[in-house]
Amino acid sequence: MSQGLKTAFAALLATACVSHAQTPAARPGFDAFDVATIKPAEPEPGRFIKMQSAHRFYAKGHTLKSLVCAAYNLNPRTVSGGPAWIESDRYDILAGTPGEIRPNLDEQMAMLRKLLTDRFGLAFHHEQKELSFYALTVARSGSKLKESTGPADSQPELISVVYPDHVMLPARNATVAQFVAMMQRAVLDRPVVDRTGLSGKFDFTLEWTSDESQFGGALPPPPAEPTKPGLFVALQEQLGLKLEAMKGPVEAMVIDRVERPTEN
């Protein structure tokens, strides 16, 4: 049984001493990784993307399709085309990042998009497709989200922790759009559209019992007597939000060309 899947989103601001005065260090462009090694992953459960240190980016156990979904913030249902191996072959990527500052999540994904183009030869186009999706709205009882108490310029944190009997998602300084992006990319089985109309940054913790439709079906079955509600109920009770199943046009990605990468 899995010991837990953890996805963490965080950034640290560094400072440099110049002429005896503390001034913020300039952020590099983060246009591409300095160096990256790509190897076939070991056949073991679990996958993640994280910064192991300020300069070490690590993606473990990902298929090309899951890397594309992460890099372009897409739900797997909105990605089509390409050979069958993009959903079966798994890779580990270890990469070095430029400069003296730890890249935030957006900067990490920008470098990952460049790697997918350069090392996998990824080429694609967008088109509208009729798909099932979830609309996230404010529940009739009203939103229960609390404004973030953290510094306005701090990076968002959305950490999904999967335990044997439930999932916990503590979020700090996060927007609803960032929450929706994570849910559609990593948790739910279809795209999610933000229709809450909520702006600002929030601190919250969401806890629920997952089912087979979530996390790509990779989690153990839920316990016979769950201690937490399902996701749809948890959203309403804990956050005052509601997921509604709908169908309509959604922007999708069609892969035109891709190739297996060389290891180095």
Are residue 212 and residue 121 in the same domain, yes or no? no
Q: How many domains does the chain have?
A: 2
Q: Reply yes or no on whether the pLDDT at 21 is more than 80.
A: no
Which tens digits make up the pLDDT trace of 197-221?
999 999 999 999 999 888 887 788 8
Are residue 151 and residue 50 in the same domain, yes or no? no
Are residue 150 and residue 223 in the same domain, yes or no? yes
Of the pLDDT bands very low, low, confident and very high (cuts 50, 70, 90), residue 222 is: confident
Q: If 0-12 CB within 10 Å is exposed, 13-18 middle and 19+ buried, where does residue 154 land?
A: middle
Tell me the CB-side half-sphere exposure of residue 123, using CA atoms within 13 A: 4
Are residue 187 and residue 170 in the same domain, yes or no? yes
Judge whether 262 lies within some domain: no
Are residue 182 and residue 85 in the same domain, yes or no? no
Q: If 0-12 CB within 10 Å is exposed, 13-18 middle and 19+ buried, where does residue 128 land?
A: exposed
Q: What is the mean pLDDT of residues 113-133?
A: 96
Which strands sit side by side in the sheet containing 35-40, from one edge to the other? 35-40, 90-96, 56-63, 48-53
Are residue 18 and residue 73 in the same domain, yes or no? yes
Are residue 82 and residue 137 in the same domain, yes or no? no
Are residue 209 and residue 122 in the same domain, yes or no? no
Q: Is 23 or 45 the better-scoring residue by pLDDT?
A: 45
80: nearest Cα among 263, 261, 250: 250
Judge whether 1 lies within some domain: no
Are residue 238 and residue 190 in the same domain, yes or no? yes
pLDDT for res 164? 85
pTM above 0.95, yes or no: no
Judge whether 230 lies within some domain: yes
Least confident of 13-22, 183-192, 248-257: 13-22
Percent of the chain with pLDDT over 90: 67
pLDDT for res 24? 52
Of the pLDDT bands very low, low, confident and very high (cuts 50, 70, 90), residue 16 is: very low
pLDDT for res 151? 80
- Which domain covers residue 99, as residue numbers? 6-127+252-257
User: Two tokens at 234?
Assistant: 């948890």
pLDDT for res 219? 80
Which tens digits make up the pLDDT trace of 72-122?
999 999 999 999 999 999 999 999 999 888 898 889 999 999 999 999 999
pLDDT for res 48? 86
What is the rounded radius of gyration, in angstroms, for the C-alpha atoms of the chain?
19
